[in-house]
Chain A
Amino acid sequence: EPEVTQTPSHQVTQMGQEVILRCVPISNHLYFYWYRQILGQKVEFLVSFYNNEISEKSEIFDDQFSVERPDGSNFTLKIRSTKLEDSAMYFCASSFQGSGGDTQYFGPGTRLTVL
């Protein structure tokens, strides 16, 4: 069964450094998402991406964040200058159709630790 993959599984970085989290969505999916989950808290939407542009973003997704689909398979989340409070699990997801009316398939997550 096709699955969403994410790399790395764990990223440790110093405050102020840039990080890039990578995702390979399911190949025939058209909509891509990033979520984060701080330890013990709820899943939070960051951004959705369709047709090579951002469809929607949350208040969390400020100027420090950016997303890109550099080629036909990868979908990346960049945090330009990490803060301590960026420490969380970051999940990538994809779906064939948009809106909440379609199943979103999640990757295993990247645990980001900012020191």
Chain B
Amino acid sequence: SQKIEQNSEALNIQEGKTATLTCNYTNYSPAYLQWYRQDPGRGPVFLLLIRENEKEKRKERLKVTFDTTLKQSLFHITASQPADSATYLCALAVDSNYQLIWGAGTKLIIKP
């Protein structure tokens, strides 16, 4: 069956370090992979989108990689700050399909 896995345990990182979050998937061939941030009681906020033919995407302190062989995406936040503390969600879309399939998210805690 199709599955998206993100670390269910919270990730604790010291301020200033790089945080790396993982999104693994099985039995999918996604054309697109997206990362969102969600704060408690709020809707997801789009961060980055990467296509299947792209290996890496950057936006300011954020970097996403997409390895279709390993079926994995890594999401990096460099120079992390306490304000980066949130739950980060990955979502996949199969080509010609409107539906985004969501991972359960990883809670990131940046300690001062």
Contact = CB atoms under 8 A, between A and B. Distances in A.
User: Does A associate with B in a complex?
Assistant: yes
A17 B28 CA distance: 39
Given A106-B45, A108-B42, A109-B42, A100 B32 contact: yes
Given A45-B99, A55-B98, A99-B96, A105 B34 contact: no
A45 B49 contact: no
Given A42-B103, A42-B104, A43-B89, A99 B98 contact: yes
Contacts of A75: none
Given A56-B98, A107-B43, A100 B93 contact: yes
Nearest to A98: B98
Interface string A75-108: 0000000000000010101000011111111111
Contacts of A103: 34, 46, 49
Central interface residue in B46, B94, B100, by most chain A CB within 10 Å: B100
Interface string B74-112: 000000000000000101111111111111110000000
A: contact size bracket: 20 to 34
Contact of A101 (B42, B93, B104, B105): B93
Interface in B37-52: 41-46, 49, 51
Interface residues of B, number: 28
Contacts of A105: 46
B103 to A, nearest CB: 7
Nearest to A106: B43
Given A104-B46, A106-B45, 4 more contacts: A45-B99, A99-B93, A100-B91, A101-B49
Interface of B: 30-32, 34, 41-46, 49, 51, 89, 91-105
- 7 closest cross-chain pairs (CB), A and B: A100-B93, A106-B43, A100-B32, A48-B98, A43-B102, A42-B104, A103-B46
24 contacts: A31-B98, A41-B104, A42-B89, A42-B103, A42-B105, A45-B100, A45-B102, A48-B98, A48-B99, A50-B98, A56-B98, A56-B99, A99-B32, A99-B93, A100-B91, A100-B98, A100-B99, A101-B31, A101-B49, A103-B49, A104-B100, A109-B41, A109-B42, A109-B43
